[in-house]
Structure formats: structure tokens, C-alpha cells
Structure 1
Amino acid sequence: MMNRLTDHLIIISFDCLSALDFPIIKDFPHFQTILKNGTYVENVETIYPSVTYPCHATIVTGNYPNRHGVVNNTLLQPGMVSPDWNWYRDCIQGTTLYDEAKKANLTTAALLWPVTGKAKIDYNMPEIFANRPWQNQILVSLMSGTPRFQWDLNNRYGHIRKGLSQPELDDFVLESTVDTIKTKKPNLLMVHFTDLDTQRHYHGFSSNEAMAAIQRHNQRLGRILEALKESGIYENSTVVALGDHSALDENKAVNLNVLFHKKNLITANTKGKIINWKAYCKSCDGSAYIYIKDKHDTVIFQEVKNILDSLLDDPDSGIEQVLTGDQAAEKGADGTCAFMIEASRGYYFLEDFEGEYIKPITLEDTTADKKFTLACHGYSPEKEQYGTIFMAAGKGIKHITLPSIRLIDEGPTFARLLGVNLGSTDGRVVKEMLTL
């Protein structure tokens, strides 16, 4: 085993924290503590599609989605009103940072970290929600994580939470994190906060609500640093604050399935439920996969290609780029799709198959129906001004500013800090930031 560079690695994911947020966070005192003493990366290149579950699977594996297997937030389940998410560890192919840490007899803890349901993590409160009318939220969580650990935290801090609404959910996660640091002193702690992402979705990228969430994140970071000090492990800890993707404002939703429905590529019954499909547009918000049910059906493939070609010629179609499955795979996305499409700025994809091909989105829509948003992600990492952010300080970390790294580099770097190995990965260890 390699030498460990730190005793306690604390990875804090502030979902949707963007490289563009740096001018704001650099003046906040707790972010300053990290920035003054550690490594700051100006721009982190995310993955394609840049949505939360694939991003977090990449962070712990060092691999692109088509290699770790989590190619979207949700599963391909045409016709289901609320598709299931990639909640479970089984969705990830290959090893993870927490698997390797556990093999090395290190104590692991995760709080609302995506894709950790039923993972072998010592203290695990996975991100999972009751997705069927007969399910109970607390039970679903308990069954998918560490029951006693979660039960205790729910008893102590459950009153803070208001279902899945923010900022109360993050406030609950924060109290649970502080408690876990003080009582468990884990060698690896991964925590996921979604307050900022939620505010950006429903109020816009630079909204007052988003700015208030960044301020709350500064306070949360401060509480975590304080908990490390109170536990007596601060000097032997490494604290990482990172984003998984950025977001872009949009005000038009593209519903490609409406065209597929008109061309009888999607069949619905009289109650408006999909009963069969030949081609389907599966949204990743700023991008989308197009799947063909029978991959060998060249006629359907050509029909879909003709539809996409005609849309590409229309500047108001909301589609900026069309990739083949092979081209999508080259970018790390799901190569089993027939096509992958990228939305133009100001547009994103939904999966509706009835109504208009393009629906303008207003603030009223986002207030009335959580399906509609005012900012989203999922876009290509090649989009302008779309990078995320990384900062780390503490044991094993140099005081340095780096212009850029990739999201795939984070996992191997974390593994090196803990003295473990993720094997052959798409990403590399960023040795420049480590005191090797």
C-alpha cells in the first residue's frame, strides 16, 4: 500500500458550484480559509452529460460515464411519469474511492452522496427518495443505507427537514455531517449539498436565491471546519470543496418526443400513456440521448436521422449539435444511444410527447410545476463559460493555483491522498497539488 498523505479526507460537494462563482466566494471567510492555505483550480472540465449522478460517479471512480456505467440521472423508462434514478452502488461498474478506502480498513461515511444506495460504506445515508405512492421516505433511506446510523440522525435532526425542500434539507445534512465528524471521525467523509443547484433550477443562475444559497454554503463550510477542530482532527485532515457542474439560464423547453409521436415512433393509448416506442428522446436537460428500441432497424434509424437533419437546418429548433452514438462515446457519454443532441443556449430538453415541440418557460411555470426550470445543466463541457470549481486545503495539499483539471482527475487524486489506488482510470493523479 502507498503511504497515506492524510488521515481524514473530507469531500464536500456543493452541487452546481460554478467557476463563475469564484468572485463571490473568494470574499466569504470560510471559503477564504481554504483558498488562502491550499490549492485552487480556476476551471474544472466536467463530463458529458453534465448531470449530478454521472458527475458524482465520475468523482469517485476517475472514469467517464460510459466506463462507470452511470450515463444519466434516471433510467430509460419511457412512459413512466417519474423514472427511477441511478440510486444504487450496483449502477457503478468497477471500483470506487469508498470501496478502496474500506478495503484498506479506513472508516468511511457518506451523507446524501449520489449513487451510494446499498454501498459498503460504514456510515451511509444515501441520496434516495420514495418514488412510488406506497413507499415511505424514511424506510426507503433506512433500507438502502446504514439503518442505525440514519435512525439516530433522523431522531436527532429530522425535525429540521421539510421533505426534500431546500434549504431545510441541506440544513439537516449539515447537522448530520457535524454529528458524524464528532462521533465517528471517519477517514473518508463525502457529503453532498444541493441547495444552490435547487435555487438555480427554479430561480435562475444569478438569482438572489442562488446568491443566498452560496452564502449559506459558506456558513455550512464554516460549521464543518469548526467540527473538525472540536473533534481534534483538524490538523490531520484535508478538506475539499468542489462543484460537479455549472448551469446555464434557459427559457425554452424542446420536446422532441412530440415529433416522434406525430411520426408514430411513439404510440400512446387514449389516456395519454405510452404503450410502445420505436425511438425515444431521453433528456439529460441541456443534452439528450436518442434511443432506438431495435438497434438493427435501419429504416427507423434513417427516419430519426432525417428528422434531426431537418432540425439542425432550422436556427430556431433549439438543437445546436447532433452526435452519433460513436461520437457520444468518444466524449465519454453512452455509446449505446443512436444519437446524442446538444441544446442551443437558452434551450433544454424535456420528454413530453404531447403538446408543442417548443414550450416557452416562465417563472409561473417553475412555481407551479417542478418539471420546468429557469437554469439547468447537462450541456457539453465544451460550452463557453461552463466550468466548475475545485479547492482543497490541509494535510497533503500544496498552496498553489492551477488553471485547470478535469472532473475525472479528482478520484485518482483523492485515492492518492488516502494511499489507495483506483487502478487504471480515465483521469490522472494531479501531483502538482500534492505534497508527495
Structure 2
Amino acid sequence: MLHRFIKLICMLLGLAIFQSVVAQEKPKHVVVISIDGFRPEFYMDSSMPTPNLQEMFREGVAAKEVTGIFPTVTYPSHTTLITGTTPKEHGIYYNTLIKEDGSAGGWVYDFREIKSKTLWQAAKEKGLVTASVSWPVSVNAQYIDYNIPEFWSFENPMDRRGATSEKANPKGLFEEVVKNATGTLEINDYNLSSLTMDQNLARIAGYLLRKYRPNLLTIHLPITDGAQHRQGRKGLMVRKAIAGADNAIGVIRDALQKAGIEKETTIIVTGDHGFVDVHTQIAPNVLLAQHGLYEKKGGRPKAFFFSAGGSAFLHLRDENDEETLERIQQLFEELPIEIRSTFDIVNRDQIAIRGGDPRVRLALTAQRGYSFSNDTEGSLMTYKKGGKHGYYPNFHDIATGFVGDGKGMQKGEVIENMYLEDVGKIVASLLQLQLNQDPNFYHSTLKNGN
């Protein structure tokens, strides 16, 4: 499993010698657009309904694949994009908290949970103006001047309007963008139920670009994720969502032109993970329960697997319980071949390579066609069709993408592979920001002014 990463590390060492870029090649503005569930095929496949992305692909620089972090899920990945670090440094390990009984708790949304320095902070330290629209884990982010965070009502999660208004910065910003960018929003105009969400988010970003001209703007477009969860990698709903995301990019590009800052701007379109078609769901906690290992003490099981979709992470009540760890390893190794062949066991060293939860000693990652649940009762394996992510990032389908176009970017450059954490480093280099970490990345993405 590690041979691919060893090869990539060697490639990175060969290509990633940091090269400074002269001031005239640096943009004054960078827009980072994250498309949830963004796949390289969206811009490399000419049959896709993505004229904006394909134009950027021809005119700028792109990657054939971007290797994600582990697990390949939305909130940890977006925190990697904004910090240039993996979860073991920035501290956002999963989309949600974990309850005492091993089930999923509330979503991680508060910026104060992030342990690493962010691009927003680095930009503010340089005196730059920052803005963000619907970016995960951005609530209470004091370094964002104009912030419309990703947030919703806990009482009625479908209604995001009031909660977003409450957490927007400065106060009244949500009302300002509704008045000037979107018009009156009904409940389903501003949630994940329809294509309208991406369009409204793009209009908000466009308004902020024209009105306030931020040096750094980040925006998350979520709708392609839900479509792929429902239909998998292909389907009419997926194509519509992809077309909608591309149209949103067009709205943002148009706003840059109308703001008169297009020639001084770099646009980066990237994502958090790819997608895998699935047909069967595995419940590893059922096996633990069958062997008495899910027994609870003080509300916390002796051992449980926490599902991230395509992977499941083993948590022990006592992290140093070697006896239980060995017993669980043996249980899964001795499963019948027709079950054992549906997943791989990921050890602590492999978890660390892609920055996974350092508290975890062992994880499972599913083969294509399979995913995991947190169920503790019922069958070990059940039929479950759709699309999933969260897998260990060692195959193409789960990779995300990268396209960069504008001032300071190479023209027509295609990179075989890069890492998700490279994106934050590239943005830092473009805006000459200090992230307090190793700045090495694929230097060919940037123009060399020498």
C-alpha cells in the first residue's frame, strides 16, 4: 500500500524545490473555489458540462489528481486546504465529534477548534483583506473580514438563513448580500436541497468581490457532493450538479471582470475528495458486539469503530490496551475470504502518512463497492447503493482535482500528482504569506520570474 506514496514522495523531493517569484508575477487577489466531491474528470473529460473549468484547464495549470488526507471527508479536507497541513497538525480529524458511545456527535464548525495557522490569519498579519463564503469550520473566524460561514439551525437543519445571519461577520452582512446579491431567500434557496444553493453562494461571493475587493476569498460549493452520494459517480443529477458548479465559477469570473481586478487575480478551483460507487455497507461494530468487545463502561464501549464512510477508525477505551487491539486484529484477519477481501487494514504508520487521527491505532479502508456504517446491531453486511468517500487516499477515484488560472500561474502546465496540503502552500506563495511550515510544493504551478 505504501509503494505509491514512496514514489510520490520521491517525485515531490525532485520537483518541489521552492522557487521565489518576482513581485510583478504575484497577484493582488486570490480566489479559492472548493467544489465538494470535485474530481479531475470534471475538467479533463471534454464531455463534461464544464466550459469554465475546461477553459481554465487549457489556459492555466492543472493536476491529473490531488492526493487527499485520511479520511477523505469534507471538514478535515477543507481545513487542510486553508492551513496547508494534515489533520494530525490542524486537529480536525472527522466531520463530526464522537460521542461517548462511539456514534457521531455534532458537526465541527467552530474556527477555534483549528490548531494550525490558517491562510486567513496569515493574510491579516500582512494587512490584507479577507472574505469567505460557506467554508467549513469558519464560524467565529476572527481573521475573516467578510464572512458568510457554513452554518445552520440546530432545531431545523434545513433552514440555514437565521443561523448564518447570526454568525456572519460583520453583523448585518448576510442581510446585505441577500439584498444586493441574491434577493429574498426562501428556505430551499439556501440549503442542500437544490442546485440554487451553489448559484446563490456564487452570487454572494461575486458581490463581495465587487464591493470589497478582498485579497483572499474562499468559497465552498457543496451541491455536487449530495448528488454523488445519491447516484454515485455518474447520473443525470450528478451532471446537473457539475454544470451548476461550473456556472457558479462563471458567476465569480464575471464578478472579477466587472470589479476590474481580473488581470490581478489568480483563481484556484480545487476540492476535498473524489467519489466511489458503492453497493454494500459493512458494520464492523456488529462483529465487535458479537464478541463482547462493544461492552460499555461509563457509557463508553471498550472498543468501537467510527465510520467515515469509506473507512472506519478503531477507538479503544484504553489507547494502550494491546490485548484488545491484537484480538480485534485477529478477528478481522480470520473473517471468511469473501468478507475479508472487501477491506484493507490500515496500521498506525500508514494512518500517519496522510495525517490521520494520531489517537487511532488501526483503521479499515473499504475496497471499491463497499463502505462502512456505525451500526452495532443487525447484519455485518447490507445492501446500500450510492456514492461514498472517506477512503484511504491511494487510488485515483478518491482523488480530488486542482486547476489554477490567472496572474502568476503557468500556462498549459499539467502535474501528474500533488497533495491536498500543497494547495494552501501555493496560495501562501502567491500572496507571499507566512504559514510557519515547510513551504515546499510543486514549483511548476507558478511562473518563475527570473
- TM-score when scaled to structure 1? 0.89
RMSD between superposed Cα atoms in Å: 2.6
Q: Distance in 1 between matches of 2:347 and 2:222?
A: 32
Instruction: Check if 1:328 corresponds to 2:356.
Output: no
- 1:268: how far off? 7.5
Cα pair distance change 1:82/1:291, threshold 3 Å: closer
Deviation at 1:393, TM superposition (A): 1.0
Name 1:418's counterpart in structure 2: 431
Which of residues 118, 128, 141 is equivalent to 1:119?
141
The alignment's TM-score, normalised by the length of structure 2, stands at 0.86
Check conservation: 1:267, 1:275, Cα contact below 8 A.
no
Superposed counterparts of 1:14-413, under 5 Å:
14-21=35-42, 22-24=44-46, 28-79=50-101, 83-120=105-142, 121-132=144-155, 137-146=160-169, 147-154=171-178, 156-159=183-186, 161-267=189-295, 275-311=299-335, 314-317=337-340, 319-362=342-385, 374-399=386-411, 400-413=413-426
| Contact 2:347–2:363 (Cα < 8 Å) also in 1 | yes
CA-to-partner distance for each residue in 1:108-139, whole Å, 9 max, x for gaps? 11111111111121111111233457997444
Contact 2:311 2:391 in 1 (8 A): yes
Find the aligned partners of 2:47 and 2:106 in 1 and give their Cα distance. 35
Instruction: Name the amino acid aligned to 1:403.
Output: E
Which segment is superposed worse, 256-265 or 11-20? 256-265
Report deviation, 1:145.
3.6
Q: How far apart, in 1, do the equivalents of 2:54 and 2:321 lie? A: 57
Superposition deviation, residue 20 in structure 1: 2.9
8 Å CA contact 2:66–2:402 kept in 1: the answer is yes
Q: How many angstroms apart in 2 are the aligned matches of 1:330 and 1:76? A: 23
Aligned residues with identical type, % of pairs:
26
Does 2:421 align with 1:433? no
Deviation at 1:262, TM superposition (A): 2.6
In the TM superposition, residue 321 of structure 1 has moved relative to its aligned partner by 1.3
How many angstroms apart in 2 are the aligned matches of 1:331 and 1:10?
26
Task: Flag the 1:25–1:59 CA change in 2: closer, same or farther, 3 A.
Answer: farther
Distance in 1 separating the partners of 2:98 and 2:348: 16
Secondary structure of residue in 1 paired with 2:89: helix
CA distance in 1, matches of 2:396, 2:220: 26
Q: Is the 8 A contact 2:224 2:238 kept in 1?
A: yes
Decide whether the 8 Å contact of 2:91 with 2:115 is kept in 1: yes
Amino acid at match of 2:381: I
Contact 1:166 1:198 in 2 (8 A): no
User: For the Cα contact (< 8 Å) 2:48–2:239, is it kept in 1?
Assistant: no
Distance in 2 of aligned mates of 1:17 and 1:416: 23
Deviation at 1:212, TM superposition (A): 1.4
Amino acid at match of 2:416: P
Offset at residue 28 of structure 1 (A): 3.5
CA distance in 2, matches of 1:16, 1:287: 16
**Cα deviation code 1:313-341 (max 9, x no counterpart):** 53324642112334312332112113111
Higher mean C-alpha displacement, 211-220 vs 293-302 = 293-302
Q: In 2 relative to 1, CA 417–376 (structure 1 residues): closer, same or farther, beyond 3 Å? A: same
Contact 1:286 1:378 in 2 (8 A): yes
Q: What's the CA shift string for 1:148-173, capped at 9, x where partnerless?
A: 21232345452361543231222221
Shift in Å, 1:265: 2.8
Matched residue count: 419
After superposition, the C-alpha distances for 1:333-353 in whole angstroms (9 at most, x for unaligned) are: 112113111112111111011
Q: Distance in 2 between matches of 1:187 and 1:13?
A: 17
Q: 1:154 to 1:290 in 2, by over 3 A?
A: farther
Corresponding letter in the other structure for 2:302: K
Instruction: State the secondary structure of the residue aligned to 1:266.
Output: coil
How many Å apart are 1:32 and its aligned residue? 3.2
Give the aligned residue type for 1:284.
A
Q: Is the 8 A contact 2:161 2:190 kept in 1?
A: no
Deviates most, 378-387 or 63-72: 378-387
CA 1:135 to 1:194, structure 2 compared with 1: closer, same or farther past 3 Å?
closer
Structure 1 residue runs of 5 or longer lacking an equivalent are: 363-373
Cα–Cα, structure 1 residues 304 and 408, in superposed 2: closer, same or farther, change >3 Å? Answer: same
- Point out the more displaced range, 257-266 or 56-65: 257-266
Q: Which SS does the other structure have where 1:303 is aligned? A: helix
> What amino acid sits opposite 1:301 in the alignment?
L
Task: List runs of 5+ in structure 2 lacking aligned partners.
Answer: 1-19
Q: Is the 8 A contact 2:37 2:274 kept in 1?
A: yes
| Separation (CA, whole Å) in 1 of partners of 2:322 and 2:115 | 30
